[in-house]
Amino acid sequence: MTAPTHPRTSDELIRAEEPVLAHNYHPLPVVVARAEGAWVEDVEGRRYLDMLAGYSALNFGHRHPALVEAAHRQLDRLTLTSRAFHNDRLAGFAERLAGLTGQDMVLPMNTGAEAVESGIKLARKWAYDVKGVPADRATIVVAADNFHGRTTTIVSFSTDETARSGFGPFTPGFRIVPYNDLAALEAAVDETTAAVLIEPIQGEAGVNIPDDGYLAGVRELTRRAGCLFVADEIQSGLGRTGHTLAVQHEDVVPDVVLLGKALGGGIVPVSAVVGRREVLGVLHPGEHGSTFGGNPLAAAVGTAVVELLETGVFQRRAAELGEVLRDGLAALVGRGVVGFRSRGLWAGVDVDPALGTGRAVSERLMREGILAKDTHGSTIRLAPPLTITADELTSALASLEKVLAVDA
């Protein structure tokens, strides 16, 4: 089949995907062609305020000038070496990222799932080499309702049947406990435990925020039990919640932090495992790697991302505008919203199921020029770029109020 040469409409492009693209997503029916800052534009030139920001991959908005400039400069010089050779951008990236996160070492990868896989391998190797767990006996304790990605090992410890069903056999070695339950965690940890792996805030589960003291409790428990605390900050990290990392709300420093999404500045996939030397130091040549991990283009963009975060401006914006978001949502409780959870510029909004599914509400928002995405059932996730203005945020909340009005 040959592709038509005339410019295609949104409807034509959506229909054209059906026979040639795997159906592993169910996107909203909008075809984005251009974007800048917090705004995207579709093929027909309709503008939408992006209240999802690529699930936090666009924390700095679309095409942030400093990030685009860093990418352009690097494109003109050197893009890929593989790790067979050194490149002149990687050392600086690792130094800056370790400094930003208060850790010693960096393992650069590409996607979030790869960072999680890498964290799992590191924790197991550390358990055998440093902790002295007998070969092939290491366990990792995880939380119910987690979302850490889609690889075979990661879905092995998912509690979402859609993510798992049909993909077995699964990787053994994981124990699942309820989230936000320190007693259950304590009961699951034993001498075989390599690590506790959790999201400081569960994004996909609907921006599930644990009780105050939970993260500090996990830190204290893992220290006492002699196992690692691995925090998956792929969605919660890099400014989203009002701090560089969500664990900082409880002054917690994990042994290992997993980063992705915003680390690539919305331009290239960049992820990383950052952690203590005692943990990352267990890897030797040949034991782990990736052709693209740490490539010069990724390192240049990642360094520019770290530079933006070093200013503290984005964390402050997330904290300040987070109050606008929280107040706006609080005013909608009882008026179409039955509950919400928010931290910084990140919210899970439970809409009254009588007003429609989260999907239906997202489609109504789309028609109002607001892009957001449902998660489970009647929950809508809001995660605008941290560059959004107070006026834009207020107008998005007004649109939400409008679509939730009973006569919408």
Ligand X SMILES: Cc1ncc(COP(=O)(O)O)c(C=O)c1O
Residues near ligand X (CB under 6 A): 55, 111-113, 116, 147-149, 199, 203-204, 232, 234-235, 260
Minimum distance from residue 55 beta carbon to ligand X (Å): 5
Nearer to ligand X, 271 or 303 (CB): 271
Q: Is 121 annotated as catalytic?
A: no
Distances (CA, A) of 356 to 121, 201, 377: 42, 26, 9
Minimum distance from residue 327 beta carbon to ligand X (Å): 26
Q: Is 232 annotated as catalytic?
A: yes
Active-site residue (options: 232, 255, 350, 374): 232
Minimum distance from residue 344 beta carbon to ligand X (Å): 15
Nearer to ligand X, 46 or 164 (CB): 164
CA 135 to chain centre: 32
Minimum distance from residue 134 beta carbon to ligand X (Å): 29
Minimum distance from residue 249 beta carbon to ligand X (Å): 16
CA 371 to chain centre: 18
> Which residue sits closest to ligand X, CB atoms considered?
112
Please compute Rg for the chain using Cα positions.
Answer: 21
Nearer to ligand X, 112 or 328 (CB): 112
Nearer to ligand X, 107 or 355 (CB): 107
Active-site residue (options: 125, 157, 255, 261): 261
Written as one letter, the residue type at 342 is: S
Active-site residue (options: 147, 157, 174, 340): 147
The DSSP string of 333-391 is BTTTEEEEEESSS-EEEEE-GGG--HHHHHHHHHHTTEE-EE-STTEEEE---TT--HH
Minimum distance from residue 146 beta carbon to ligand X (Å): 8
Nearer to ligand X, 136 or 161 (CB): 161
Nearer to ligand X, 50 or 199 (CB): 199
Q: Do 145 and 159 meet the contact criterion of CB atoms below 8 Å apart?
A: yes
Neighbouring residues of 218: CB distance < 8 A, sequence distance ≥ 6: 182, 185, 196, 198, 229, 252
The tokens describing 225, both together, are 């039990």
Q: ∠ at Cα 270 (269, 273), nearest 5°? A: 145
Distance CA 42, CA 112 (A): 27
Phi, psi for residue 185 in degrees, rounded to 5: -65, -45
Cross-strand pairs, 341: 348
- Other CB atoms within 10 Å distance of the CB of residue 236: 28
Neighbouring residues of 237: CB distance < 8 A, sequence distance ≥ 6: 244, 245, 246, 257, 259, 262
Minimum distance from residue 386 beta carbon to ligand X (Å): 17
Q: Is 340 annotated as catalytic?
A: no
Nearer to ligand X, 244 or 399 (CB): 244
Q: Specify the 3-state DSSP secondary structure of 51.
A: coil
The tokens describing 257, both together, are 């932090």
User: Is the Cα torsion angle 25, 43, 401, 333 positive or negative in sign?
Assistant: positive
Residues marked as catalytic: 147, 232, 261
